[in-house]
Structure 1
Amino acid sequence: MARLFGTDGVRGRANDDITAELAVELAVGAAHVLADFGAFRDTATRPRAIVARDTRPSGPFLVAAVSAGLASAGVDVLDAGVLPTPGLAHLVEKTGADLGVMISASHNHHADNGIKFFARGGTKLPDEVEDAIEARLGESWDRPQGTDVGEIRPYENAVEEYVEHLRSTLTTDLTGLTVVADCANGASYLTAPAVLRAAGATVHVIGDRSDGGQINEGVGSTHLEKLQAAVREHGADAGVAFDGDADRCLAVDADGTVIDGDQIMAILALDLHERGELADDTLVVTVMSNLGLKLAMREHGINLAQTAVGDRYVLEEMTLGGYVLGGEQSGHVVMSRYATTGDGELTALHLLQRMATSGRSLRELGAVMTRMPQSLINVKGVDKQRAGIDHGVQEAVRAAEAELGDNGRVLLRPSGTEPLVRVMVEAATQEHADEIAERLAGVVRERLAL
């Protein structure tokens, strides 16, 4: 049976896969498991949780269900309303709350939704704790009565507190920079414009609808075309794009050229390295990062530590090694001095600050690395669980790797958040990368078809 939790919580079609009933059970299970693990404060008061959501239409009923489940298990709940995922993580850490629950499906379609948990301190739950929660779904339990049930009330000023936290991380203001911010019609529609303006930038905003019916639709970090056009239209110095829950950021320069997560990490790593603040001269990345990043960092004396895909695994490696910067090509960037998880708005602020302090354009800064030509194909309608064990698929991968030699690489992996297999190929030329990726995708479709 497939694991309920993916690389970033539980995710699926809202009111089909992700139902109110499941939300209640997950909340109750989380309360019980975290209590058993000794994760709640040793105090006479009830445990406290903070719940937040993005703008999706299904968000309110899922927040209500999660809140009901937690309160029924004797946990007090603060409802922070619409807030980016990293904003929730920050508030959990700041307030000493015992648990955080984010209702979001990140960059997915508006009909999807998800539930992800944060432990005390604002960190994502380890796999073993998620598995323990899943194992206890539907179990019978002794329900608290009377005044022992939890209270549910709003978290006042959640947006303002998060915006102030972001602004406080800057050492230089952004006066003189003109920026376009694409909020993906998601959770950053209030916070991103507010913090960029508070930092002194001139800001033009797109993708700032709050109804959630168009979250990620043609906007945000997965659809940069409107941002590119807006940057050129306004003569902006840069554009920054977030996803639905604003835990990732991509950028475009003044010409509309994309600056991806690898380039952003390279820019921030060099900044920290030059200031002697990059711990152990190491940047933490995932297996999806472009080979060009590795080559560029090696040239500047910076090491790479590599993890599985998912910012939770990046953060685990950062914690283990005491590193301060890591992330993913997709734009999840973790700056552990200021955040406990990937934070798109924090990333954007520090990228823009690097422009302000260096006096260099984003195009100049992004040129620190040359991306190897890369082809990525998402193969749908296949059994992703068999991708790593099917003999024919693995033979095709080995043959492709032998063909590429030292001039490229192959990565074939099941998505942790969507029902598909990702085929990624890097090669000396785009044509060669595309050709091998198409060939491997064909093998995956043939061998793993449902």
Structure 2
Amino acid sequence: MTELPIQAIKTLSDAHPKPTGLTFQYGTAGFRTLGSTLDSVLFRVGILAGLRSKRLDGRTIGVMVTASHNPEQDNGVKLVDPRGEMLEASWEAHATAVANAASTEAFIEALSNLIVNAKIDLSKPARVVYARDTRPSGPALIAALEDGFKALGVEARDGGVTTTPILHYLVKAINTKGTKDSYGEDSEDGYYTKLATSFKKLLVGKAKPDPVVIDCANGVGAKAAEKLLEYLGDSLPIILENTDITTRGKLNDSCGADFVKTMQKLPPNLVDVMKPGQRACSLDGDADRLMYYCLDERGAFHMLDGDKIAALVAAFIVEQVKLAGLESDIKVGVVQTAYANGASTKYLAERLPVKCVPTGVKHLHHAAEHYDIGVYFEANGHGTVLFSPSTQQTLATHEPSTPAQSTALNHLLNLTQLINQTVGDALSDMLLVEVILAHKSYSGVEWNSLYADLPNRLVKVVVADRNAFKTENAERILVSPPGLQAKINELVKRYEGGRSFVRPSGTEDVVRVYAEALLKTQADELAFRVAGLVYDEAGGDPAKRPKEFI
């Protein structure tokens, strides 16, 4: 094919008309909104993914249909580049333009412009692997996506119903197959085998962990966790909860990582499951976020969020690098966002370099790539560890001079296999945490005592237009609407240990308000006062004004 198959695109595009009056935006998480409005977007993304593959000489592109932690009625779609990473930033604007073309004719014109501007050679092959989560809107959206593949003649592989991290894994495994950088067998079996094998190696000689409860958010993570159990055997006792993926309305409802992080309490149906001294974790709807928590001996709840995971993981890796005799060769760094608890930043900064970047995985991932070993976790539990190619080469060729160095080196090599380096992966991260807890002989309470979180509160305000809010300095300073930051600063001054920032959501028309203070009551009060400022200044939707503002 040397030119666009206009007739095939026109015929199929007419069957997937763009709804009038709606504007779609490719953001941090791709396109994400009500699933019922996304038919035309999915069709167009099918063609876009094929063109992206052609632009990259026929390498396989991933397409994931999911809305992660969002309510069940939402859905979304994102593209995955050949190394398993997020879509190149420059293509986000192309995706937005293509999705918003008002008619079939305008859509074909937008494709023609993209082909010219991105210098796409249409004679190249187009290869895509795609998958979806368990949302009821998924099958219809996949059908629209497949029509897009058909229109362009894409060679498409259906990954079925699976987690977002497994789709990312498949993309990288397919593109590295048969090379010296082979990431693993390009199948779900390959994914589970890789994780379970490295996990078992890392637990050799360690006491068998106590059972861990996994809240699967009634999402696709339940399916994956059940499969993973088969590969782990008895190496890790696991109790699966919230595994109902067929009943409508259950997904992410009063459960899952986002519920635990936002509400800072146990999912209601775990109250009778959890015993004093027990630890547990929650996945989100597509199993890329992980939130740990535990009950102490008195039964009090303690949240172990992405910041606590980052502290645990970074300290352990630094320790292993030192034990391997590689501290002068390998530099470890941590990347956080403004949402990171101030106490975690202080704890980490005393041990290794810490960088703050804007919210969004693409920013964290990119910054982490600048370290030899880059650890990144958002406070919401999304994160991973990246080992640079040169570091992986160092680990593969280093000659240890003592048995202790040899042991630490093997631990690091196995960590490169256990960790899904393409994207945050709740199941991979869960196994990583369990390895470190076993090595350190930590209970959940002991892990939690690494540092004490500053009390904090997250509030969201529904607004007419999130694009009216502009930030700078890694989203810590609001520059628009003008004058609002100065008012926030005045409020913050009144609270001891106070910190607050405001940023627009990347996925919905809400503004998120974060606040910290030395006392819980003050953190709550500061958060709601700042939220009130946002509402008053920016015209929040009166019908959706949170009760606490009134």
TM-score, normalised to structure 2's length?
Answer: 0.65
Q: Distance in 1 between matches of 2:134 and 2:186?
A: 18
1:274 to 302, 319, 328: 319
Structure 2 residue 330 is matched with structure 1 residue 285: no
| Structure 2 letter corresponding to 1:246 | A
2:429 to 347, 350, 355: 347
2:35 to 14, 17, 20: 14
**Deviation per CA, 1:319-348, whole angstroms, max 9, x where unpaired?**
233433111000001122432111111111
**Would the alpha carbon gap of residues 404 and 236 (structure 1) be closer, same or farther in structure 2, given more than 3 Å must change?**
closer
Other structure's SS at 1:201 match: coil
Q: Report if the CA contact (8 A) 1:47-1:76 is conserved.
A: yes
With 390-399 and 180-189 compared, the bigger mean Cα shift is at 390-399
1:193 to 206, 226, 229: 226
Q: Distance in 2 between matches of 1:4 and 1:315?
A: 21
Q: Distance in 2 between matches of 1:416 and 1:334?
A: 20
**Deviation per CA, 1:23-76, whole angstroms, max 9, x where unpaired?**
111221232244336573799983321111111001111122212212321221
Report the counterpart of residue 48 of structure 1 in structure 2. 127
Once the two structures are TM-superposed, the CA of residue 82 in structure 1 deviates from its matched residue by: 1.3
**Would the alpha carbon gap of residues 172 and 197 (structure 1) be closer, same or farther in structure 2, given more than 3 Å must change?**
farther
Report the counterpart of residue 48 of structure 2 in structure 1. 29
| Structure 1 letter corresponding to 2:125 | R
Report the counterpart of residue 155 of structure 2 in structure 1. 76
Structure 2 residue 400 is matched with structure 1 residue 359: no
Other structure's SS at 1:216 match: coil
Gaps (5+ residues) in structure 2? 1-21, 61-120, 261-265, 387-415, 471-479, 542-550
**What are the within-5 Å matches in structure 2 for residues 117-196 of structure 1?**
158-170=187-199, 171-173=201-203, 175-196=208-229
Other structure's SS at 2:321 match: coil
Other structure's SS at 2:369 match: helix
**What are the within-5 Å matches in structure 2 for residues 361-380 of structure 1?**
361-380=443-462
**Deviation per CA, 1:276-307, whole angstroms, max 9, x where unpaired?**
179523111112111011111133x2221111
Report the counterpart of residue 298 of structure 1 in structure 2. 349
Q: Distance in 2 between matches of 1:69 and 1:43?
A: 16
Q: Distance in 1 between matches of 2:52 and 2:349?
A: 43
**Number of aligned pairs?**
390
Structure 2 residue 378 is matched with structure 1 residue 328: yes
Q: Report if the CA contact (8 A) 1:196-1:349 is conserved.
A: no
Q: Report if the CA contact (8 A) 1:241-1:251 is conserved.
A: yes
2:484 to 393, 403, 417: 393
Q: Distance in 2 between matches of 1:165 and 1:188?
A: 17
**What are the within-5 Å matches in structure 2 for residues 192-341 of structure 1?**
192-196=225-229, 198-199=231-232, 200-211=235-246, 213=248, 214-224=250-260, 225-226=266-267, 228-229=270-271, 231-233=273-275, 237-255=278-296, 256-276=301-321, 279-299=330-350, 301-336=351-386, 337=416, 338=419, 339-341=421-423
| Structure 2 letter corresponding to 1:416 | G
Q: Distance in 2 between matches of 1:347 and 1:230?
A: 26
**Would the alpha carbon gap of residues 290 and 39 (structure 1) be closer, same or farther in structure 2, given more than 3 Å must change?**
farther
Q: Report if the CA contact (8 A) 1:181-1:205 is conserved.
A: yes
Other structure's SS at 1:391 match: coil
Report the counterpart of residue 108 of structure 2 in structure 1. none
**Deviation per CA, 1:176-226, whole angstroms, max 9, x where unpaired?**
420111111111112223324633222211111122622111221123423
Report the counterpart of residue 137 of structure 2 in structure 1. 58
Q: Distance in 1 between matches of 2:146 and 2:349?
A: 48
Q: Distance in 2 between matches of 1:328 and 1:229?
A: 26
Once the two structures are TM-superposed, the CA of residue 411 in structure 1 deviates from its matched residue by: 1.3
Other structure's SS at 1:425 match: strand
Q: Report if the CA contact (8 A) 2:279-2:292 is conserved.
A: yes
Other structure's SS at 1:253 match: strand
1:441 to 531, 537, 549: 531
Q: Report if the CA contact (8 A) 1:183-1:207 is conserved.
A: yes
Q: Distance in 1 between matches of 2:187 and 2:218?
A: 19
TM-score, normalised to structure 1's length?
Answer: 0.79
**Would the alpha carbon gap of residues 65 and 257 (structure 1) be closer, same or farther in structure 2, given more than 3 Å must change?**
same
Q: Report if the CA contact (8 A) 2:309-2:377 is conserved.
A: no
Measured on the aligned residues, the alpha-carbon RMSD in Å equals 2.9
Other structure's SS at 1:292 match: helix
Once the two structures are TM-superposed, the CA of residue 230 in structure 1 deviates from its matched residue by: 5.2
With 243-252 and 430-439 compared, the bigger mean Cα shift is at 430-439
Q: Distance in 2 between matches of 1:24 and 1:3?
A: 14
Q: Distance in 2 between matches of 1:166 and 1:74?
A: 35
Gaps (5+ residues) in structure 1? 99-120, 123-155
Other structure's SS at 1:68 match: helix
Report the counterpart of residue 148 of structure 1 in structure 2. none
Q: Report if the CA contact (8 A) 2:132-2:138 is conserved.
A: yes
Q: Report if the CA contact (8 A) 1:48-1:97 is conserved.
A: no
**Would the alpha carbon gap of residues 44 and 421 (structure 1) be closer, same or farther in structure 2, given more than 3 Å must change?**
closer
Report the counterpart of residue 414 of structure 1 in structure 2. 504
**Would the alpha carbon gap of residues 89 and 230 (structure 1) be closer, same or farther in structure 2, given more than 3 Å must change?**
farther
